[in-house]
Amino acid sequence: MSASEPAEPDQLALVAAPGRRRFRTREPEPVAAELPVAQVLVDVGLPHLDRPFDYLVPASMDGDAVVGARVSVRFAGTDHDGFVVARTDASDHEGKLARLRRVVSAEPVLAPEIVALARAVADRYAGTVSDVLRLAVPPRHATAEKAASPDPPVPPARPEPGGWAEHVDGAALLDALAAGGAPRAVWNPGPAADWPDLVARLVATTLSGGRGALVVVPDGRDLAQVSAALTALLGAGSHVELAADAGPSTRYKRWLAVRRGAVKAVVGTRSAAFAPVHDLGLVLVWDDGDDLHAEPRAPYPHAREVLLLRAHQAGAAAVVGGFARTAEAEQLLTTGWARPVTPSRPTVRAAAPRIHASGDDHEQARDEAARTARLPSLAWRTARAGLARGPVLVQVPRAGYLPGVACGRCRTPARCTACSGPLVLGQADRPPRCAWCATEHPSWRCGECGNPTLRATVVGVRRTAEELGRAFPGVPVLLSRGDAVRDTVPSEPALVVATPGAEPVADGGYPAALLLDGTALLARTGLRAAEEALRRWLRAAALVRPGAMGGEIVLVADSSAPAVQALVRWDPAGFAGRELAERASLHLPPAARVAELTGAPADVDDLLMHAELPDGAEVIGPVPVDDGARAMIRAPRGLGTALAAALRAAAGVRSARRTGGTVRVRVDPVDFG
């Protein structure tokens, strides 16, 4: 494709009428002698323009307009940024070509393999390459670009297997990586495993064979743990961290070091999945069930899927790891794409803490202090015994103080009289306020029965900490939550109250842990509610000492629930197999592909009308939602590519006609249901 050249005064001969003054014009600058045509991916983001366009390369820009360089071009009457993705001898366009306006930077930041990956991700998620490249290539920082990168490191010696010796097929995985192979594994370490060290040994083994490695983790805490393990094993400078909170200059400098081949090991959060690692030999995603791996910007790719596409294109090894196993990971095993790598059952039994399930109310404590803290008798006894030996972890699934309240008499949820939003209690000495508009209600009364009293329907981490402080006088209560996360706690007795994902690592492990409000977690709506509950419990349980060392866990939930039984037996594989089978019977992801369309009702209907869906696709809806209308399209897994192509083509038709508003398209959203 091409962009036609606009009329510019210095490139046109201006012919004057007879008797009028003639103007002399400059001759157009000659184009490059070799490969005079640049194919440019223009940053426009419109589906019907999702392709490279041809531009002429002026001779003065020949040396700088290299493949991968950032350029500025004229497109549809305005200047746009873009990337040169190829240089050719000629264009297929028969008309006149426009010229590059300028070369923004001669640094070849866009690697050809990342272009191919961006195309594959756009095809997978019904998006555009421009949207993917905004996620893949960080903004330019001129100062960082001028700085030199260090020399490439010497490949390290192959490390000892460490904890991999306890895994079935763990040694075979390491041998294949060292030999330059491309094994594919779903890895679930056992209880109390030092998973950052295990990850570091996979990376070091890959580097020892002269290839690069890429590790993606959910958040900064996991990033810090893996980075520390890599530094301990390989020394400083052996890898780089790529995360959004590093700052634009630092992040771009590190990213350039990777692009230039100065560093071949990368660990980062979800955007690092596109890091241009040279000679890529291993991709690894840790805790792939964490929703932080799902990109909230179009086209909404999941880091696990991006890495699996990279492994396929690069012929690299792929490892999907986590204490829990998602249905998507189980699907990889079922199809034969990957093999399981887990510790033997005797190893798991030896390392696992003793785990008990206790109902929320039927075993409510015989001790008044335990009733104050909302603890069943078993949980109360376990916490008191654990405090004699060190810190006790208390996991609370909700943040805040009382994030849900209702009428104390009729149990009707408390609502704001101004906007009908839900009321919450931020602290004990303040009146309830609206979670939506922040209006306070010091004189609230129930609209159904007129009662002025409130009761808690959901108890948050701060209220739980307050109650535990009264139940265990004299024991320090340490909070760890989203806005104030503790990385570690000492071995002294203390109650460590944390939200899921914010649990600190205890020196020597926790002697006991209480996992509260498990029934509330399991009762949440959504396709992944049980899977997510088990994932949270397993991550917390992995911080507890083995049963042989007195480690004990009490989960406050119905013991008959499959997720609870999976935790008690430490059987993430069995639960994942059951979950996948249930979803397959219901034609739900990952056994099927689902696309969610959200927008104004007329726009959703218009996109559906233009979409030539493959045979076998089923449209559910549209139905009214808060932000307009939503339709779901479900198709067999084998038709996923065709479904995405149909939606992308329909979006292209609508954008070309410039009719209607935007419709958000999400393929296989993590919050489906």
Binding-site positions for Zn(2+): 407, 410, 416, 419, 434, 437, 446, 449
- Residue 291, number of CB atoms within 10 A of its CB: 12
Q: What DSSP designation does 499 have?
A: -
Contact call for residues 494 and 477 (beta carbons, < 8 A) = yes
Contact call for residues 187 and 321 (beta carbons, < 8 A) = yes
Q: What DSSP designation does 151 have?
A: P
Residue given tokens 């743990």 in the structure block: 225
In 229-328 the beta strands, taken as DSSP E runs, fall at 240-242, 265-268, 280-286, 317-321
Structure tokens at 163: 């904890």
Q: What is the DSSP string of 10-58?
A: GGS--PPPTTSPP---PPPPPBPSSS-EEEEEETT--GGG-S-EEEE-B
Measured distance between the N- and C-terminal CA atoms of the chain, rounded to whole angstroms? 41
Percentage helix, strand, coil for the chain under 3-state DSSP, each rounded to 5: 35, 25, 45
Q: How far is CA 202 from CA 318, 322, 349, 404, in A?
A: 11, 14, 25, 44
- Cα–Cα distance for residue pair 444/195, rounded to 1 Å: 50
- Cα–Cα distance for residue pair 564/355, rounded to 1 Å: 10
> Could you give the 3-state DSSP secondary structure of residue 579?
helix
Contact call for residues 497 and 479 (beta carbons, < 8 A) = yes
Nearest residue to 537 (alpha-carbon basis) of 569, 560, 511, 508 = 569
The residues near 83 (Cβ < 8 Å, ≥ 6 apart) are: 40, 41, 68, 69, 70, 71, 109, 110, 115, 133, 137
Contact call for residues 32 and 59 (beta carbons, < 8 A) = yes
Tell me the binding residues. Answer: 407, 410, 416, 419, 434, 437, 446, 449
> Could you give the 3-state DSSP secondary structure of residue 472?
coil
